[in-house]
Structure 1
């Protein structure tokens, strides 16, 4: 429970009918749903191609999110760690630090405390496991992903990060359409299940359940030619509560890799309750490739 001088809270208490609406814990007034929180609260990882990335690399990038009455900038870090060649890989992501500014209307709708602050974000990790390799038993690649968002992020009272983990399990298919020495074209498809814990309250946009479950999906294509990589996918999920819990987003990635260093740019166009757009620009360094 947050404790401040009563004079500071008078405006908030009156606006949100505190404590009658949802009890004495102010964090219980936050709608833990993608459409009522910041852009990093429910970040979903990029769609794998299920060929398994056998290179150890580290990416550092800056991200800029705009829309939905919210302007957020953050440092984003991602690492890929191959565990078994062409079979298993581990990735780790972190929103190391974010700064944000919201309009007064967005602050009041989300029942936030502040308009502008900074905070650390969530650490997430996931395993990608290939079950079938294209052309051996089946005419496509198939495998699984298990993704976990931890609770390292802060400021639930400002609708920035959740106090509970988020879990994603999905099955991923991919099929190579062009496979030449200097170029490759591949399509990919994912279907899965996503779950997270919410705040149960009777406020607008609230939930009458403590847990929200969703069907997740993704459909994409990627093209590699010499030093260039280009990919795009339509991904999202559809929660069963119906309180802005059905975001979808069109994502594109472009990478130029002349050596071990690569420059990478991404743009995510938000749809439905995920109605902000994200631009990412950063670098990757490829350390080595697993040989066995």
Structure 2
């Protein structure tokens, strides 16, 4: 009898211990009818992984003359711990016409990460922590069109149109599996040119749109903005800026702001860079990225008559 009682208590305590590993998923709020676990995810930048709804680069307002082949490894970690990982990023940019129009493909090719149950509760992920996981990421298609070249009294103006596809996996909150697009004006003006030292101010302004899984809010959107200081000295380039966008619904922490810094060693054909970014609002990750840019000149020039 004593043995049976001890066995029963052991089973009960063991079951309660297993249940205590994370909060009950019964309290997760579904945003559309259905039984798929993905219904519990909050489709917003502050409640998903670091690359799910990215803030685009500010750029310098110029399409330029060079092709771009970029490969980078990004290592990120969540503020307070509980979510860290590595991403393999690939970019291919091709000027159809130098200084006029270009297309770019950005691909978060692979993401290797670990998210604990504590963070999964915050993100409303139904599935328990499986340990380190490998997922694919999103493909982003960009179009760049030059409106005005930089002159003595006005900056360079370039229109950027981007479409985020649904190639990324929504499992584990790494991607949305829903489309998003953003459209903005990139501007840049060199303000100081003193020998081998230059100072440039870059900015962007536009809007950002993404689809959600909320039944009464199928789409969220808001103003996209950014401002950056760029310093060049000989081969070195340093850029520091802040950027973000504002969702209009205040749904799932949808107004992210990031601080970004980059250091580039410029060479005629191959550049080397390191980049750091961290969240200031509704973005709870910091990351370091290192990589190389191969940038041979595009053969296509705009004939001027």
Q: TM-score with structure 2 length normalisation? A: 0.83
Aligned match for 1:128, one of 138, 141, 144: 144
Answer whether contact 1:54 1:89 (CA < 8 A) is retained.
no
SS class of match (2:58): coil
Classify 1:85/1:17 alpha carbon distance in 2 versus 1 (closer, same or farther; 3 Å).
same
Answer whether contact 1:34 1:245 (CA < 8 A) is retained.
yes
Tell me, yes or no, if structure 1 residue 15 matches structure 2 residue 25.
Answer: yes
Structure 2, gaps ≥5 residues long: 1-17
Structure 1, gaps ≥5 residues long: 1-9, 202-207
Partners of 2:230 and 2:191 in 1: how far apart?
10
Partners of 2:28 and 2:273 in 1: how far apart?
46
Shift of 1:67: 1.1
Alignment of 1:62-211 (within 5 A): 62-68=73-79, 69-112=82-125, 113-115=127-129, 116=131, 117-135=133-151, 139-154=154-169, 156-179=170-193, 182-200=196-214, 208-211=216-219
Tell me, yes or no, if structure 1 residue 223 matches structure 2 residue 223.
Answer: no
Shift of 1:253: 1.1
Shift of 1:180: 5.8
SS class of match (1:55): coil
**Range with bigger deviation, 269-278 or 21-30:** 21-30
* Rg (Cα) greater in structure: 2
Shift of 1:63: 0.4
Shift of 1:14: 5.3
How many residues are treated as equivalent by the alignment? 275
Shift of 1:93: 1.1
Q: What's the counterpart of residue 58 of structure 2? A: 47
Shift of 1:257: 2.7
Partners of 2:278 and 2:23 in 1: how far apart?
36
- Compute the RMSD of aligned alpha carbons: 2.4
SS class of match (2:122): helix
Partners of 1:114 and 1:65 in 2: how far apart?
21
Shift of 1:245: 0.5
SS class of match (1:27): helix
Tell me, yes or no, if structure 1 residue 36 matches structure 2 residue 32.
Answer: no
SS class of match (2:246): strand
Classify 1:182/1:91 alpha carbon distance in 2 versus 1 (closer, same or farther; 3 Å).
farther
Tell me, yes or no, if structure 1 residue 235 matches structure 2 residue 243.
Answer: yes
Partners of 1:261 and 1:209 in 2: how far apart?
45
